[in-house]
């Protein structure tokens, strides 16, 4: 399948997208998000608040080693982490159903001119901190037809990251 080894992957170009996890509580969800971030060449993950970070056996169970290939950090407070990234010029995209949110099929991230994005999925029960939602440049909503109107945080993060990756590949004409 011509997969790169960890050293080659570490040296490869990454998509200018960072994931900031807002108080994600499930270690298996965190591991799954690491694995998805590795698959889509995300530049890194910041876990905030109660979000556990590697090394951790339960994260490794679902990350399957991706926690070793995706750069990560921890910040005590999501609002502080997002504010810092926004001040550095990152476009803040919150994955949350709110009034005025943009449906994912209409979202077209633009990777020209060095534009960078931070994707913020939230806690499995409470979602994204409303103060972070207020700071967002874009609130994304994944269209759904079922009765629950919500998805597992790892699943929704994967769906949103695919949209970023698809646009990145199209706009750069190569895989990172």
139-162: pLDDT as tens digits: 999 999 999 889 999 999 999 999
SS3 assignment, position 86: helix
User: What is the arithmetic mean of pLDDT over 17-28?
Assistant: 98
Predicted local distance difference test score (pLDDT) of residue 174: 65
Find the angle CA(61)-CA(47)-CA(4) to the nearest 5 degrees: 55
SS3 121: coil
What's residue 149's pLDDT? 86
With beta carbons less than 8 A apart as the criterion, state whether 64 and 54 touch. Answer: no
Closest by CA to 9, choosing from 175, 123, 148, 150, is: 175
Give me 172's structure tokens: 């750069």
pLDDT tens, position by position, 77-110: 999 999 999 999 999 999 999 999 999 999 999 9
Does residue 3 carry a pLDDT above 90? no
Question: Where do the domains of the chain lie, and which CATH numbers do they carry?
Answer: 6-172 (3.40.1280.10)
- The position carrying tokens 């269209």 is 143
């Amino acid at each position: 399948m011509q997969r790169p080894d960890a050293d080659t992957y570490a040296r490869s170009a990454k998509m200018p997208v960072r994931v900031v996890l807002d108080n994600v509580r499930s270690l298996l969800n965190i591991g799954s998000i690491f694995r998805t971030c590795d698959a889509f060449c995300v530049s890194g993950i910041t876990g905030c608040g109660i979000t556990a970070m590697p090394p951790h056996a339960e994260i490794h169970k679902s990350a399957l080693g991706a926690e070793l290939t995706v750069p990560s950090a921890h910040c005590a407070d999501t609002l502080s982490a997002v504010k810092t990234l926004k001040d550095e010029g990152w476009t803040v995209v919150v994955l949350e159903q709110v009034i005025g949110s943009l449906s994912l099929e209409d979202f077209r991230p633009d990777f020209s001119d060095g534009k960078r994005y931070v994707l913020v999925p939230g806690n499995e029960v409470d979602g994204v901190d409303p103060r972070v939602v207020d700071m967002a440049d874009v609130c994304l909503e994944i269209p759904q037809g079922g009765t629950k109107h919500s998805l597992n945080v790892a699943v929704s993060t994967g769906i949103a990251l695919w949209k970023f990756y698809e646009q990145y590949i199209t706009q750069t004409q190569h895989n990172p």
